[in-house]
Structure 1
Amino acid sequence: MFIERDQHRWWRFAISGGAFIILMLLIKFNSTVVTMIDAVLQSLFTGQRVEGAGWFHALMTLLSFLASPKMDLLWVIIIAALLWYKHYQIPALWALGTIVGGDVFGEIFKHIVKRARPAQHLAADDGYSFPSGHTLGIFLVAAILLLIVVPLIKKHSTRTICQLLIVFVVFFLAVSRVYLYAHWPFDTISAMLLAYAWLQVAEWLYVAWAPRLREIPFLSTSEI
C-alpha cells in the first residue's frame, strides 16, 4: 500500500494537534506574547518589500493565487482524475476526502477563533485570518503528491527533485501569505500544524479502510 501502518502516527497527531490547540487558545484569548512575536516576524518578512523590483512581488502574488483554497481543490480533483484513470481509484477518493476534510476543519477553526487579518491586507483577502486556508490547503496537496504521486515516479533522481520542489512551494506559499499581509506568521504555522494533524487521521483511515473498499465491485481492481 502507499500508506502503511505506523505505530507512531498517533504520537505525531497528539504532538501536532496539541501544539495547534495551544496556539489557537493563545490567539483566541489575545496572548500578548504571541501578538508581539507575530508582529516581529511579520516585520522581518514585510520590512524590505520589493514591489519596485517587480518580479518578487509578482511571484508572491501568483503563488498565492495558485494556492488559493479553490485552486487547491482544483489541483486535487485533477490529481484524483489522473489516479482514477490509472486504476488508483481508492487513492483518488482518499485524496479528495483529505483535501475536503482539511478545508472543513480549517473553516470550523476560523469561525471559532475569528481573528482579524493584518490591517494592510488586500481587499480580495476577506474573512478571518486564523488558520491560513491557503497554507493548510497547499500543505495537504503537497502531502497527497508526496504520498501517492511521487512514489509512482520510477527514477530516483526525478523523485528527489520533485520532493524538493514540493517542499519549496509550501515554504514560499507560507511566506507569500505573510508578505502580502494576508496573514500573521502564526496563522501559517498553525495551518501547517492543523494540516499535519489531520493528515495523520487521514492516513489512519486509509490504512483501515482501503482494503475494505476493494470489496466494493467498482473498486475491486483499484491499486492501494
Structure 2
Amino acid sequence: MKKRQHYWVIASFAFLFFVMLGYVVKFYPEALRPFDTSVQSTIRGDLPQPLTAFFKTITVIGNPSTQAIIAAVAVIVLWLKKWYAEAIYVATNSILAGICIVSLKYIYQRPRPSITHLVHASGNSFPSGHATGIFLIIGSIFVICFQRLSSQTAKWTVAILLGLLIFCIALSRIYLGVHYPSDIIGGFLLAYAIHNLVFPYYDQLRFKWRFQGKQK
C-alpha cells in the first residue's frame, strides 16, 4: 500500500505541473513565447538537409497509426508469451494515452506554431500526442524489459536505446516546426503522471498472477 501511495504522490505532482503548464498555455500563451522561440531557434538552426531527413523519418514512429501498430504488436506478443499482466499494462497505457490526447487537445485548443512546418500536422498542438503516446507505449516496453531481462548490460542497453528513441521522436516535433517545446514538456508530464498512476496496479497484478501460476 505504501508503495502504491508513493507512485500516487509522484503522479499527483506530475498532473499538477501539467495542469499549471496547461493553464499558462490556455490563458497566458505569450508568457511562454520567449522560452518556446529560443528553444525552437536553437534546435532548428539552419535546417541542414541530413538532419531534416533524419527527423522526418523518425517522427513517423510517433504517428498515431504507428503507435497503434506498435502497441498492438506488443500486446499480441506479450499475450502469446503468457505475460498477461504485461499485455494489459501496455494496452491500458495505450488506451489512456489516446483518450487523454484527444480530450486535452480539444480542451486547450492551442494552435500549432506559425513557423514553417516541414511535415504535415493537423489538429491542435498541446499536449504533443507524439511525446505523450510514445513515452507511454515505449516506456511500458522499457519497464517490462527491465523487469524481465536478467543481464544488467542488456537492461541498460535497452534503457539507453529506448530512451534515445523517445527523445529523438520528441525532438523531431520541435525541429519539424509542428510543436512548441512546451507542448513536448506537457506531453512528457502527462505521460509520466499516467505511468505512475497505472504502474503499481500492473506490478501488483503481475506479482499476484505469477504467484498463482496464472502467467509466466
| Whole-angstrom CA distance in 2 between matches of 1:83 and 1:102 | 19
User: CA deviation digits over 1:142-163, x for unaligned, max 9?
Assistant: 2211211343223221221110
Q: Report how many residues are paired.
A: 212
What residue is the counterpart of 1:151 in the other structure?
147
User: How far did 1:58 drift?
Assistant: 1.4
Unaligned 5+ segments in structure 2 are none
> What letter corresponds to residue 18 of structure 2 in structure 1?
F
Confirm or deny that 1:67 pairs with 2:67.
no
Q: TM-score, normalised by structure 2?
A: 0.90
* RMSD, aligned CA: 2.1
Q: Deviations over 1:5-46 (max 9, x none)?
A: 444212211211111000000000133221221111111111
> How many Å separate the matches in 2 of 1:160 and 1:208?
24
| Aligned residue runs from structure 1 range 178-217, under 5 A | 178-207=174-203, 214=209
Number of the residue aligned with 1:79: 74
Residues 119 and 176 in structure 2, CA contact (< 8 A), matched pair in contact too: no
- What is the Cα deviation at residue 204 of structure 1? 3.3
Q: In the alignment, residue 135 of structure 2 is paired with which amino acid?
A: F
Structure 2 contact 145–155 (Cα < 8 Å) conserved: no
**Going by fraction, where is helix more abundant, 1 or 2?**
2
1:5·1:207 contact (CA, 8 Å) conserved in 2?
Answer: no
Shift of residue 206, structure 1, vs aligned partner:
2.1
Alignment counterpart, residue 47 of structure 2, candidates 49, 53, 66? 49
Q: In the alignment, is the contact (CA less than 8 A) between 2:15 and 2:190 conserved in 1? A: yes
Residue 61 of structure 2 contacts residue 169 of structure 2 at CA under 8 Å; is this kept in 1?
no
Tell me the CA shift for residue 134 of structure 1: 0.7
Q: Name which of 94, 101, 107 aligns with 2:96.
A: 101
Secondary structure of 1:8's partner? helix
- Counterpart of 1:38? 36
SS at match of 1:129: coil
AA of the residue aligned to 1:41: V
Aligned to 1:21: 19
Partners of 2:95 and 2:41 in 1: how far apart? 33
